[in-house]
Amino acid sequence: MSVESKGVVAGARETLAGFREFLTRGNVVELAVAVVVGTAFTNIVNSVVQGMINPVVGAFGTQNLDAYSSCLRGPCKDNPDGEADLGILLHWGSVLSATLTFLITAGVVYFLMILPLTRYMARRRAKDAVEPQPPAKTELDVLAEIRDELIAQRADRADRAGRAGEAATVGAPRSGDAEADGRRLDKERDSG
């Protein structure tokens, strides 16, 4: 099997899996669309069943699917009213006809409405992809911004004081030794 035919088979399986999911999902909006479109396609579906499916079935028996029935018990004879006189008559041909009509309607709705709409919406979502927002600022980020702003203000004051010929004394003097600064802060905290 070539790579191209594998892709076609995989695509067909994916499409049929989507069709099966559509039939079993029970989404209300899709169900409403299916009812409306199914009602609109009733004549087309009936024509397909009567004009194409029934003749194929007619190759093996009668073309009228409603004529297919089986007698469950005893001899079955239909009276003029359409009811069995003896035994239990099962009209499975009409069930088969209704099932074929349903499957054709569901297929038309899915392949002509739902599948193209789903693909269109996926392309639209991909086109309108929202840019990811930066993460919210944490307390640490806010504190770092405050620190940077205070440092900038301190440097600005020192520059103005230096231009005025004054000695800049803003805040506590720095010794340059982090350990000594830590001990000094501990003493101030203990005494205060």
Helix (H, G, I), strand (E, B) or coil at 83: coil
Measured CA to CA in angstroms, residue 81 lies from 48, 72, 78, 88, 157 at distances of: 29, 19, 8, 15, 108
- Please list the residues that pair with 70 across neighbouring strands: 90
Which pLDDT belongs to residue 83? 61
Per DSSP, the three-state class of 24 is helix
Percent over 70 (pLDDT), the chain: 70
Q: Residues 85-104: pLDDT tens digits? A: 677 778 888 888 788 878 87
Question: Looking at the predicted structure, is the pLDDT value of residue 176 above 70?
Answer: no
Mean pLDDT of the chain: 76
Please state the rounded mean pLDDT for residues 127-155: 86
pLDDT at 144: 93
Q: What is the pLDDT of residues 20-77, one digit of tens each?
A: 777 666 666 677 777 887 777 777 777 777 788 777 777 777 767 777 888 877 777 6
Task: List the chain domain ranges.
Answer: 3-127, 136-168
The verdict on domain 3-127 having CATH code 1.10.3470 is no
Cβ–Cβ < 8 Å for 81, 90:
no
Burial class (CB in 10 A: 0-12, 13-18, 19+), 94: middle
Residues 6+ apart with CB under 8 A from 66: 91, 93, 94, 97
